[in-house]
Amino acid sequence: MKNSSYGRRRFIQHTGAAGLALGAGLRSDAQVPERKIKVGLIGCGSVSGQYLPNLKACPFVEMVSVCDIRSERAARRAEQFKVANQYPRIDVMLAGAPFELLVNLTDMQEHERLNREALAAGKNIWSEKPIANSLAAGQELLATAQQKRLRLWGAPTVVASPQFAFMAKQIAGGALGRVAAAHAHYGHEGPGWSSFFYEKGGGSLSDLGVYSLTTLTGLLGPAKAVTAMVSIVTPARKIEGKGRIEVTEEDNAMVLLDHGNGVISHLQSSFNYFNPHGHEGREETRHTINVVGREGWMGLAGYDWEPHGVDFATKAEPKRKRHAEDAHGYVWQGGASRAAECLATGRETPFTPEHALHVVEIITAARESHATGRRIDLTSTFKWPVIT
Ligand SMILES: NC(=O)c1ccc[n+]([C@@H]2O[C@H](COP(=O)([O-])OP(=O)(O)OC[C@H]3O[C@@H](n4cnc5c(N)ncnc54)[C@H](O)[C@@H]3O)[C@@H](O)[C@H]2O)c1
């Protein structure tokens, strides 16, 4: 996944500051936003290198602190991005320089515990996926946030792309006729820098499938039930600096979703797919999401986190045409900046914690379906349609 800044057009769009040279410190006083949100970031590994340039360029963010249990990583990011405070543990960070929004970029299995601790200390949260390890735990975190008048958000941000909006509008407007089915795929040979991806609570569904599941449910509505098969294709892996580890969470998955009203979708995700684009999947040109109805078809070119456009054909216009090629300032690593913008201005985000938790429920239900051989009914839902 590739680097990008906050998004020049996004700032201009929201401030009316046309012709502005964007970047921290480059604004004139007339365009200074309402207020800046003090941000603390925990987890200074791979993805922090994508988030920090975006946060530093965001006019609604003041970076206050960074934290990592590997203190050399916090020190490196503090120096690289000129962040004044660095900490080795969350309790020290929470007791240190004050901030309002925690950006949680730690191991997937750590999010729930750290999010809970930060909420208790009165912080708003932007969390990488997942917000929590189970639906019940996530709902408890959300209830705590609401009770304390705090906000809680979780990745991914795929519903914020103009390509998602285009697809959602075609479906809602009836351009595909009666929608029947959708298919999504996301895979590569798996990350090699951390073992948590392969341990319980990690897996290809939590790391990769989560994007497609957010798009499929965002387009077709909350799922009512799940049937799935999952497997471990590669039982042992080599991890940088760690050597050989045992794989204990699925690294290969096939999931079927029932969206009600006859609409069925399917996702496949894996850490065992040959892919010439590897982890840097932005060069992917295949359709990774396909939606089909009685009157039309749409294919999303590239991955939903950084799509290139939407190919579209209908009975009325069967010659395939590409639409929505412009990102309009959307970048996948912009979720924490959008959260800060929401706190500063009240402008709501299209992504919601309820949607993120619905996807957590789908992932845990998929594993339960495989383990029991049963179709699993889902209980959670979220505000849909996402785009109105
Ligand atoms: N790497 C990517 O391109 C990418 C892209 C999108 C999302 N993500 C998500 O971002 C999260 C982090 O992934 P990553 O690739 O950066 O992993 P990583 O292993 O490179 O970084 C995680 C960091 O968190 C630190 N950490 C773990 N537990 C901690 C704790 N209790 N307190 C403080 N620090 C702690 C680790 O020391 C490590 O430096 C995951 O949820 C992943 O799914 C990663």
Ligand 1, residues 107, 153, 199, 332: which to mutate, most atoms within 8 A of Cβ?
Answer: 107
pLDDT value at residue 38: 98
Ligand 1, residues 128, 205, 305: which to mutate, most atoms within 8 A of Cβ?
Answer: 128
CA-CA distance, 182 to 64, in Å (whole number)? 43
List the pLDDT tens digit at each of the 388 positions of the chain: 644 456 545 544 544 433 332 332 233 444 556 799 999 999 999 999 999 999 999 999 999 999 999 999 999 999 999 999 999 999 999 999 999 999 999 999 999 999 999 999 999 999 999 999 999 999 999 999 999 999 999 999 999 999 999 999 999 999 999 999 999 999 999 999 999 999 999 999 999 999 999 999 999 999 999 999 999 999 999 999 999 999 999 999 999 999 999 999 999 999 999 988 878 788 899 999 999 999 999 999 999 999 999 999 999 999 999 999 999 999 999 999 999 999 999 999 999 999 999 999 999 999 999 999 999 999 999 999 999 8
pTM of the model: 0.93
CA-CA distance, 163 to 169, in Å (whole number)? 10
Contact 55, 337 (CB under 8 A): yes
Query: Which atom of ligand 1 is closest in space to residue 1's alpha carbon?
Result: 3
CA-CA distance, 264 to 168, in Å (whole number)? 16
CA-CA distance, 188 to 340, in Å (whole number)? 32
pLDDT value at residue 279: 80
pLDDT value at residue 277: 83
Ligand 1, residues 66, 80, 105, 211: which to mutate, most atoms within 8 A of Cβ?
Answer: 105
CA-CA distance, 327 to 286, in Å (whole number)? 18
DSSP β-bridge partners for residue 298: 291, 312
User: Of 138, 217, 205, 215, nearest to 369 (Cα)?
Assistant: 205
CA-CA distance, 73 to 357, in Å (whole number)? 30
The SS3 assignment for 154 reads strand
Angle value at C-alpha 383, between 105 and 171, nearest 5 degrees: 105
Contact 360, 131 (CB under 8 A): yes
Ligand 1 close to Cβ of residue 47 (< 6 A): yes
pLDDT value at residue 1: 60
Contact 69, 89 (CB under 8 A): yes
User: Distance from first CA to last CA of the chain, Å, rounded?
Assistant: 29
For 359-388, letters b (16+ CB in 10 Å) and e give bbbbbbbbbebbeeeeebebebbbebebbe
Ligand 1 close to Cβ of residue 235 (< 6 A): no
Ligand 1 close to Cβ of residue 108 (< 6 A): yes
User: Of 155, 161, 81, 82, nearest to 125 (Cα)?
Assistant: 155
Quote the ligand 1 centre to 105 CA distance (angstroms).
Answer: 5
Residue 200 is given by DSSP the state T
Residue 178 is given by DSSP the state S
Label the pairing between strands 37-42 and 101-104.
parallel
Report CA-CA distances (Å) from 363 to 129, 184, 221, 302.
Answer: 12, 15, 16, 23
The residue type found at 350 is P
